[in-house]
Chain A
Amino acid sequence: GAVVSQHPSRVICKSGTSVKIECRSLDFQATTMFWYRQFPKQSLMLMATSNEGSKATYEQGVEKDKFLINHASLTLSTLTVTSAHPEDSSFYICSAIWGLREQYFGPGTRLTVT
């Protein structure tokens, strides 16, 4: 299978600051990547679809000015949480499509906003 990495794995930031999370496809090129958010003991919630070279598509209810997504290359997508607040604390996971339909997920990033 394909490998997707995320960095950092954990981050703690102060309220009002911004934090960037990187998602990389290590051994394949991904024109499409996805960003999910997961609360404890809940399912994954799709936040946005990231397309290389174009603007991301955000799901209903997700603030695009708060969650900035940049897919600048075929192996890297970034999610920036701007002006973070404690309610933004969550587990953020990215994924990428490999082959025809297989979607592989990164290990996730635990964000804690104090």
Chain B
Amino acid sequence: QQQVKQSPQSLIVQKGGISIINCAYENTAFDYFPWYQQFPGKGPALLIAIRPDVSEKKEGRFTISFNKSAKQFSLHIMDSQPGDSATYFCAASKPGANNLFFGTGTRLTVIP
């Protein structure tokens, strides 16, 4: 059972455009929602994370939007660049248990 559902599976965006990746969860016990970026053959790198007490968090070109009532959260990449081409994973964890439940991943391609 996939505890965190992620879409789309793949995404192609023009350079300078906005990339949007969506995730949804069912378990209301989740209280920590990180996003990871992974390049081929590398480990995932923590991009940005949010807790449910805020609706939005921004770090540079990356923004997480969080909708607690809808149990959804999304990653927005502004001014997307070819170097952003990678696979992005959303995840969630519960308090007191740090193991992450991952989404299925989104393969982003930014074309020049």
Q: Which residues of A contact B (CB under 8 A)?
A: 1, 4, 6, 32, 34, 41-44, 46, 49, 91, 93, 95, 97, 101-108, 110
CB-CB nearest in chain B for A102 = B46
Q: List 25 A-B contacts (CB under 8 A).
A: A1-B46, A6-B43, A32-B98, A34-B98, A41-B105, A43-B89, A43-B102, A43-B104, A43-B105, A44-B44, A49-B99, A93-B44, A97-B98, A102-B46, A103-B34, A103-B100, A104-B46, A105-B36, A105-B44, A106-B43, A107-B42, A107-B43, A108-B41, A108-B43, A110-B41
Selected from B42, B45, B105, the residue in CB contact (under 8 A) with A42 is B105
Contact status of A101 and B98, CB under 8 A, knowing A43-B104, A44-B89: yes
Grouping DSSP codes into helix (H, G, I), strand (E, B) and loop, the B interface class, with mixed when no group exceeds half, is strand
Q: Are B99 and A46 in contact (CB under 8 A)?
A: yes
A107 to B42, CA, bound (A): 5
Say how far A34's CB is from chain B's closest CB, in angstroms: 6
Q: Which residues of B contact A (CB under 8 A)?
A: 32, 34, 36, 41-46, 49, 89, 93, 98-100, 102-105, 107
CB-CB nearest in chain A for B104 = A43
Say how far A94's CB is from chain B's closest CB, in angstroms: 8
Beyond the given pairs A43-B104, A101-B32, A104-B46, 15 more chain A to chain B contacts, judged by CB atoms under 8 angstroms and listed by A's residue number, are A1-B46, A4-B43, A41-B105, A42-B105, A43-B102, A44-B100, A46-B99, A49-B99, A101-B49, A101-B93, A102-B46, A103-B100, A105-B43, A108-B41, A108-B42
Selected from B42, B46, B104, the residue in CB contact (under 8 A) with A103 is B46
CB-CB nearest in chain B for A93 = B43
A102 to B91, CA, bound (A): 12
Q: Are A105 and B102 in contact (CB under 8 A)?
A: no
B43: chain A residues within 8 A (beta carbon): 4, 6, 93, 95, 105-108
A110 to B89, CA, bound (A): 20
Contact status of A46 and B46, CB under 8 A, knowing A101-B93, A103-B34, A108-B41: no
